[in-house]
Amino acid sequence: MIGSTTVFFGGLRLRQLNSQGHPQSRADACGDGMRRELPDPDDRFLRDLSFGDLRTILAVAEMGSFRRAAVRLGVGQSMVSRRVQKLEDELGVSLFERSSSGTRLTVAGRGFICSCRTILQQAQTAFADARSAGVATTGRLRIGLVASISEGGLRKIVEAFAMQHPYVDLSFFEGDRSDVYTRLSHRRIDVLFALGEPRDDDPETMLVGKERIYLALPAKSSKAKIGRLSWRGVANDTFLVGTGDSGDEIQNYILRSAGDSRVRVAVRRMDLGREGIMTLVGLGFGVSVVSEHWRGVSYPGVSFVPLGEEDERLPFLLTWRRENDNPALRRFLSLSRMHARGAILSYGLSQTHGPSP
């Protein structure tokens, strides 16, 4: 087998050389004798592109200055300028607007930067996976979050798992629903935690709990002193819903619950995450619906009051891929099932889950 220093990410080939320092053929690039479709070996730009080039571009974008980027990277400013200019010449577009006050990304630059970040993240994940696979006593578990673990069932599961398996490296990724599910599909995370109802046609889910529902409202509001609010009691309020953190599901829940109570409510969608929404609530711009686990976080000027009927709850799931044979994932799911059975006894819940991966 021929050794290789090549890494492919995002469709880019980064310095494809075999162990003798010569360019590899299209067949031996995979290292297993199998022929796969790879980028054209005559494409000089892709052949010469390195991780150093990508890090340089990212540093300039994040620092907003060639000089500050050079300081961060520990290289001369002239080297930073040459690398950026070389990439711009090869791409045929300007990535940055230069001015006496610094640099700013162009439209083309913003798109290129997003791809660069993805490539470097994939590289870091690949290298970490390779290292952990070589040490059988450790292992790694990557958990995606579309909900908080400041309180609630998943927090208890994670705490117990960390105590029982101290040598498993736990990493977490938080993002919007679409991004987290995409990462799960591409095996960049092992399991995800999100709001949702289990489906009979999806065996790779587990109901880990149903949480009480609260209205987040300004602490100075007279309603903050009420023990429990009905949907009729919030008919004149404006509900703020973010674009991430299961925003679509939360909006549908608000409209459905208000409709069942025969009241009309106003819903405003904001291009904000949970922190931004809670900030607006504290400033008096509206109210929002949260599940029980969010009460583990304090927000200035925000109070939480139970909303709806006593038995009104939101379901939360773990989702994974059956073909994922990660031993750490198996142990995590086993522990989660034990917790879910306890939740059934406590709350009278029903559970749907599939076989271990």
Domain closes at, from 129, 149, 168:
129
pLDDT of residue 19: 41
3-class DSSP state of 125: helix
pLDDT of residue 124: 80
Distance CA 34, CA 44 (A): 24
- Inter-residue contact 244 to 218 (CB < 8 Å): no
> How confident is residue 301, by pLDDT bands cut at 50, 70 and 90?
very high
Residue the block writes with tokens 């599961």: 157
DSSP string, 230-292: -GGGGTTPEEEEESSSSHHHHHHHHHHHHHHTT---EEEEES--HHHHHHHHHTTS-BEEEEG
Helical (H) or strand (E) element with 314 = strand 313-320
How far, CA to CA in Å, does 155 sit from each of 63, 86, 93, 226?
36, 48, 47, 28
12 assigned to some structural domain: no
Q: CA angle, 39 as apex, 34 and 42 as ends, to 5°?
A: 115
Strands 12-14 and 96-99 turn out to be unpaired
Residues 6+ apart with CB under 8 A from 320: 184, 190, 191, 192, 204, 329, 333, 357
Torsion of CA 24, 25, 30, 35, to 10 degrees: 180
Q: Is 290 exposed, middle or buried (0-12, 13-18, 19+ CB in 10 A)?
A: buried
State pTM to two decimals: 0.53
- Inter-residue contact 267 to 243 (CB < 8 Å): no
List the CATH number of the domain containing 296: 3.40.190.10
Q: Kindly report, residue by residue over 323-350, the tens digit of the pLDDT.
A: 898 989 999 999 998 888 776 555 544 4
81 assigned to some structural domain: yes
Same structural domain, 235 and 298: yes
Same structural domain, 193 and 326: yes
Distance CA 186, CA 128 (A): 16
- Inter-residue contact 183 to 343 (CB < 8 Å): no
Same structural domain, 222 and 308: yes
Q: Kindly report, residue by residue over 216-235, the tens digit of the pLDDT.
A: 999 999 999 899 999 888 88
Q: CA angle, 155 as apex, 151 and 156 as ends, to 5°?
A: 110
User: Given a cut of 70, is residue 308 above it in pLDDT?
Assistant: yes
Same structural domain, 156 and 251: no
Q: What is the DSSP letter of 317?
A: E
> How confident is residue 129, by pLDDT bands cut at 50, 70 and 90?
low
Distance CA 327, CA 14 (A): 31
Which of 131-135, 207-211, 292-296 bottoms out in mean pLDDT, i.e. has the lowest? 131-135
List the CATH number of the domain containing 75: 1.10.10.10
Chain length of the chain? 357
Longest dimension (CA), the chain: 76
Same structural domain, 83 and 99: yes
Share of the chain above pLDDT 90, in %: 18
pLDDT of residue 161: 92
Q: What is the DSSP letter of 338?
A: H
Same structural domain, 291 and 324: no
User: Given a cut of 80, is residue 238 above it in pLDDT?
Assistant: yes
The number of folded domains in the chain is 3
Domain closes at, from 86, 101, 129:
129
Mean pLDDT taken over the chain: 78
Q: Kindly report, residue by residue over 93-119, the tens digit of the pLDDT.
A: 899 998 888 888 998 888 888 888 888
1 assigned to some structural domain: no
169 forms beta bridges with 140
240 assigned to some structural domain: yes
Same structural domain, 98 and 226: no
184 assigned to some structural domain: yes
Same structural domain, 252 and 300: yes
76 assigned to some structural domain: yes
Burial 218-254 (b: 16+ CB within 10 A, else e): beebeebeeeebebebbeebebbbbebbbbebbbebb
19 assigned to some structural domain: no
Most confident of 59-63, 229-233, 282-286, 306-310: 282-286
User: Given a cut of 80, is residue 316 above it in pLDDT?
Assistant: yes
Average the pLDDT over 128-140 and give the result.
62
Q: What is the DSSP letter of 4?
A: B
Domain that residue 114 falls in: 51-129
Same structural domain, 220 and 287: yes
Burial 86-118 (b: 16+ CB within 10 A, else e): ebbeeeeeebbeeeeeebebeeebeebbeebee
Domain closes at, from 102, 129, 156:
129
Helical (H) or strand (E) element with 170 = strand 169-174
Average the pLDDT over 187-213 and give the result.
81
Same structural domain, 342 and 295: no
24 assigned to some structural domain: no
Same structural domain, 123 and 149: no
Same structural domain, 214 and 310: yes
Q: Kindly report, residue by residue over 16-34, the tens digit of the pLDDT.
A: 444 444 444 434 444 444 4
